[in-house]
Structure 1
Amino acid sequence: MPILAERPELRAFVERGRVVRMPSEPRLLEQLYRVLAEIVEAGTELTEDEVNRAIVVVHDDPAQIRRGLVDRQLLDRSPGTLSYRRSTA
């Protein structure tokens, strides 16, 4: 993910464009999730499967990342429909 290359503080967690480990420091973890949220194009509604396919390109556990994005309110999940949209807040 080219966006990660622009964040020198996150380079230690990325190899060949893929996140290979998650930061333990909360500030860096939050930064990483904010960058990963950019995988979902603003204004685009995606199914859970589409979100997973986008995330698996940069991380081996798309469910972990998807849940983390939702928990941090960086990705909104529509109840009952399993559709996702990047948060505007």
Structure 2
Amino acid sequence: MDAATIAGLLADPARLKVVAALALGAETIEQVAAASGLPLKDVALAARRLARGGLVLRDGHALALRTEQFGVAARAAAEAAPPPEPLSDDPAQDAVLSAFVRAGRLTSIPAQRSKRLVVLDHLVRVFEPGVRYPEREVNVLLAVWHPDTAALRRYLVDEGFLTREAGVYWRSGGTVEV
């Protein structure tokens, strides 16, 4: 069973409620109906479809969720997914960025200065050289990466990636794509 099949089975609200009730410990059609608030007929129809799809074992009125199918599908989907695009051409920098950047967001600000410098060099690329940014706009650009915009701003200024004067910031360091 693949992830798309599971998602298709769970796309129906009644089937989703049946799976939820089974996951929470219901073991019969009657218990699922009581836990889900669905009529017995709807539970029976949903259970039949889930059983045909391989997500539920059905023996008369007894039902059992095949929870192992979720793990199998998740592992298969992960194996089939293309590898993520490198965030840097430099393998060492890519390793650091891969550890701290997920889905275009910074998961945490590195405590180790050398790693933080790699991350800051990556973040500063959202600022165009020669453009002056008011603090509000800097916050908006940094909030896309991480909610602690004050810390990111401070690190970018302290490490020389941005310069600040009278509440206006501009890019003064970092790698520039040519």
Same topology, TM > 0.5: yes
Q: Which ranges in structure 2 are unaligned for 5 or more consecutive residues?
A: 1-85
Which of the residues 148, 153, 175 maps onto 1:66? 153
* Structure 1 position 46, deviation (Å): 0.5
User: CA distance change for structure 1 residues 88 and 19 in 2, over 3 Å: closer, same or farther?
Assistant: closer
Between stretches 57-66 and 17-26, larger displacement belongs to 17-26
Aligned to 2:123: 36
Distance in 1, matches of 2:148 and 2:134, equals 17
- Does the aligned pair in 1 maintain the 2:160–2:173 contact within 8 Å? no
Bigger relative CO (Cα 8 Å, ≥ 6 apart): 1
Matched position secondary structure for 2:118: helix
Identity %: 33
Distance 1:88 1:5, change over 3 A: closer
TM-score of the two chains, using structure 1 as the length reference: 0.84
Q: Give 2:105's aligned amino acid.
A: R
* Larger Rg over CA atoms: 2
Greater shift after overlay, 48-57 or 14-23?
14-23
Number of positions where the alignment pairs a residue of Structure 1 with one of Structure 2: 84
Secondary structure of 1:38's counterpart equals: helix
